[in-house]
Structure 1
Amino acid sequence: MLAGVLWLSGRRRFFASAELDPERIVAKRGGAARPTRAIRRRLDVTWAMREGCEVYMVAPRGRPPEATVLYLHGGAYLHPISVHHWRFIARMVERTGARFVVPFYPLAPGYDGETAGCFVIGLYRELLERHGPSAMFVMGDSAGGGLALSLAMQATAAGLPRGAGLVLLSPWLDVTASDPAQAGIERDDVMLMRPGIRTAGLWYAGALPPTDPRISPLFGRLAGLPPILIFCGTHDILVTDARRLTERARREGVPLVYEEAPGLMHVYAILPLPEGRAAQVRIARFLQEPAA
């Protein structure tokens, strides 16, 4: 039913053409969602400015956080965080007792992946110094999942302490959207189409090649990464990215658990679905025991 609603909403039509309108996209930026009043009543919500970007901290009330999660939202590197993200974050804070740190990182077309990457790795350094690596996780959905994996790779290359784990929800790991299998999956995808996301990927790449690991981390080094947990549905063109990363991790001995849901759409794990709730239970367990 939700897939039908998403299809009728015309959401995927935004990505139907490669001719995206950058002025229209930027004009909508003021619509970034903030934590709702209901979330603020239930949880401890604070915020700060860092390098001109808002960073929100969402934590349980009345008890110290058990872990810290740097959460990077999706939106094709074009769109700001949505109310669906905040609802998911609130559920995860309540379920896990973790502190979620949520930055409004720089977006394309005004900024590129190199800029966004520098911003999030600077924030990651601060969180490591403040909270330590043993209970430090990075999580992201869609484009945020790609940025999360890129961040982990850059942190490893910089010699930073390895965090406790990575959680990638329908991650966008190759902005070229060039996997031949995506053509057959696209007709069932109710949210994404290749022409538009390819343009978004080129904007995000900026002066870098779109296959640069800072932009498309599927082409980066996996050695030294913390344990990874991935969720993706088969009615999502990005399932090919998840499968390719999983195969590489298995060949290279990187600890990774991949859960693929038949017939489910993009970012189903954050949505109010029975399968989404089941994924959230699995994520909570991972935040407590990453290697399990």
Structure 2
Amino acid sequence: MHLTCRKTKILLWFIFGSLTILTLYYLQLLPGAYRLYSIYDTTFSNELSLHQSTEKVNDATLSRRSNVQSAWTCTGNMNYESEWRTRTCAFKNICYNKKKKVFQFYRKPGSIKTPILFEPKLGHIYDFHVNNHGFVNLYTRSSPRESWGPTIVEEWLPSADKVPYLEHVHVLFTHWYAPFNPGHVIWEDIGSTYFAMVRLDEYDRNAVLLEYRRLPTKGDSYYRMFQNIIPAFAAKVDGLHNYMNSFNSPLVCFRTIVAGGAIPMFSISNEAYTNGKERILYDYRTAILRHHGVNISHLPSRHRIVLVNKTHSIHRTVRGIANLAEIKHFISSTYPRIQLDVIDWSKYTFTQQMHELYKTTILITPCGGISTIIPFLPKGAHAIVTDFYVILLDADPNIHRRLIGMGDSSGGMLWIYLLQWIISNNKPIPQGVVLHSPWPNLEYMDRIVRYSTDNYLSLKLAYNLRQLAIGKDTNWFEVSDEELSKISPKNNSFEGFPPVYITAGTHEIAIDAIRDMTEIMRLSGVEVILDEGEGLMHTYALFHLWSPQGRYAQEKIRQWTREQLLIGLQSTSNMNRITTNQMCL
């Protein structure tokens, strides 16, 4: 009897142990099974989807199953339905219904509806269309009626053996229907498609770009630019309607559709959009250069100045260079040994433009679409954009309240000259200006009486720099007052200046002239600070990486800048709160 009980206990322990091992084994398999099926779920949250989107759909499994659902993943603002303009999304396994002319997003029939978004005010949102707008935008200036989103259908996803499934990434976009502007086409209309793929980790060199509304006709400026840019990073571009008609099936399904993310990059209010995207922009620009045969590793070995010839513009006052001949003469006489080319880009093919730009070290160009080719310059090149301040004011009349000017040495003198021009032309002045060891004018060095121990900017070097400014063969003492007024600030003309922060070393050659100018500014009612670095040289505040005094000066400037910008923002806010008494009208 005792032996029988012992055998029974051993058998029970064996059964219990086997069940435990089997349970642990299946628990280990469950996460893998969950991952296999959860990728087809429509409840893609932002965090969950980014992880799951790296998994690949098995073609054989998909062709046998008919219950696989559509899925989506997005980047951008997922907290508010109203932020559809900033959202970029990838939709997996959706189909285009040629008869209904809609993209269908498949949800399992009879399944519990899962929310697309959770809106703090509206609660759960279960559709890609809400409040008369879609889920994303397809071009930079979309109105709500021009937004887009797929239509949810409670049907089984069509089997891959009955309808075509397109493997490569397809990107929906629409170009801005406005007068042709190369900047908007390159960096917004087309650029947004590349940026969207990269940001979602869906980049495909064989991607197909689909113009959602209407592909420009051959010979059109838009079409030519499409052909110049798109082959650099994608396989082809086509109109959606034409592309769909190339398939006989009433349904055409896509493994991946990318849409959204087109932002007006040249709009001041969207300036933050480009922050943090420098690498994407650089790679996009580099792909275009390489596509047109430019060897980006072959940098210019000699200086070359290119002056853009654009004497005619629909924006006559700001987007053309009226005194082109005068500028050309000044540059050629001042820098006779440097190659100077005056180029009218309209006479060059796009490929030729890319090659010419990459051989340029200094580009002088007016504002507007023509200036948006600046990113194609080689590393280390410089660009001078004329009338930039006026362009900013045209874009945003209050932007001067968010601007702080800064210049050093002769660049500080240019800021003094610019402020005098701004005031004399009744333009809004910036919120403040920081000047590091500024030249008060071109005449100051003729009045130097003290011996200077500054080894950074000697009197001889200052004279040579002034000679470059007036022209190599020009005698300084023969320069007339009229000629001098075109290149040097007026003495004692500081009325109306914004607050000014000046740094200067007590050992520099211009210290007496800077002190005199500061005192005249104060007498003119200007709020000015002169921060002298005892025993320090010219532009000492710029050497903050090596000098404790420079670091301290930079910290004080940072604090001063914040205070000035805060005053500007408060002024703008107060202006926006002004209301008009209708009885006074």
Fold equivalence (TM over 0.5): yes
Q: How far did residue 159 of structure 1 move? A: 1.0
Matched, 1:129 2:400: no
Gap change, CA 1:241 and 1:199, over 3 Å in 2: same
Q: 1:289 aligns with which of 563, 569, 584?
A: 563
Matched, 1:278 2:552: yes
Assess if the C-alpha contact under 8 Å between 1:171 and 1:241 holds in 2: no
Q: How far did residue 264 of structure 1 move? A: 0.5
Matched, 1:194 2:459: yes
CA distance in 1, matches of 2:549, 2:517: 22
Q: Which residue of 1 aligns with 2:343?
A: none
User: Which consecutive residues of structure 1, in runs of 5 or more, have no partner in the other structure?
Assistant: 1-58, 63-79, 81-105
Q: How far did residue 267 of structure 1 move? A: 0.7
CA distance in 2, matches of 1:219, 1:120: 27
Q: 1:110 aligns with which of 318, 335, 338?
A: 335
Q: Which amino acid aligns with 2:555?
A: V
Q: Which residue of 1 aligns with 2:257?
A: none
CA distance in 2, matches of 1:213, 1:231: 25
Assess if the C-alpha contact under 8 Å between 1:150 and 1:214 holds in 2: no
Q: How far did residue 120 of structure 1 move? A: 6.7
Matched, 1:251 2:518: no
Q: How far did residue 195 of structure 1 move? A: 2.9
Gap change, CA 1:167 and 1:60, over 3 Å in 2: farther
Matched, 1:147 2:414: yes
Q: Which residue of 2 aligns with 1:179?
A: 447
Gap change, CA 1:274 and 1:212, over 3 Å in 2: same
Assess if the C-alpha contact under 8 Å between 1:169 and 1:269 holds in 2: yes
Q: Deviations over 1:56-104 (max 9, x none)?
A: xxx8649xxxxxxxxxxxxxxxxx9xxxxxxxxxxxxxxxxxxxxxxxx
Gap change, CA 1:230 and 1:155, over 3 Å in 2: same
Q: Deviations over 1:197-245 (max 9, x none)?
A: 2232133134864893553326152111111110000111121231121
Q: How far did residue 276 of structure 1 move? A: 0.8
Matched, 1:267 2:570: no
CA distance in 2, matches of 1:151, 1:259: 22
Gap change, CA 1:130 and 1:240, over 3 Å in 2: farther
SS of aligned partner of 1:217: coil
Matched residue count: 185
Assess if the C-alpha contact under 8 Å between 2:492 and 2:520 holds in 1: no
Bigger Rg over Cα: 2
Q: 2:514 aligns with which of 242, 245, 248?
A: 242
Q: Which amino acid aligns with 2:456?
A: M
Q: How far did residue 263 of structure 1 move? A: 0.2
Gap change, CA 1:279 and 1:130, over 3 Å in 2: farther
Assess if the C-alpha contact under 8 Å between 2:448 and 2:510 holds in 1: no
Matched, 1:215 2:487: yes
Gap change, CA 1:240 and 1:129, over 3 Å in 2: farther
TM-score with structure 2 length normalisation?
0.29
Q: Which amino acid aligns with 2:554?
A: Q
Assess if the C-alpha contact under 8 Å between 2:448 and 2:509 holds in 1: no
Assess if the C-alpha contact under 8 Å between 1:189 and 1:236 holds in 2: yes
CA distance in 1, matches of 2:385, 2:516: 25
CA distance in 1, matches of 2:385, 2:496: 19
Gap change, CA 1:151 and 1:194, over 3 Å in 2: same
Matched, 1:228 2:468: no
Q: Which residue of 1 aligns with 2:430?
A: 163
Q: Which amino acid aligns with 1:290?
A: Q
Assess if the C-alpha contact under 8 Å between 1:166 and 1:228 holds in 2: yes
Q: Which amino acid aligns with 1:245?
A: M
Assess if the C-alpha contact under 8 Å between 2:432 and 2:500 holds in 1: yes
Q: Which residue of 2 aligns with 1:101?
A: none
CA distance in 1, matches of 2:533, 2:441: 20
Assess if the C-alpha contact under 8 Å between 1:192 and 1:236 holds in 2: yes
Q: Which amino acid aligns with 2:484?
A: D
Assess if the C-alpha contact under 8 Å between 1:234 and 1:265 holds in 2: yes
Gap change, CA 1:209 and 1:171, over 3 Å in 2: farther
Q: Which amino acid aligns with 2:335?
A: G
Q: Deviations over 1:33-74 (max 9, x none)?
A: xxxxxxxxxxxxxxxxxxxxxxxxxx8649xxxxxxxxxxxx
CA distance in 1, matches of 2:485, 2:386: 14
CA distance in 1, matches of 2:542, 2:468: 26
Q: Which residue of 2 aligns with 1:24?
A: none
| Identical pairs, percent | 29
SS of aligned partner of 2:502: strand
User: Which consecutive residues of structure 2, in runs of 5 or more, have no partner in the other structure?
Assistant: 1-273, 278-302, 304-329, 337-363, 367-383, 568-585
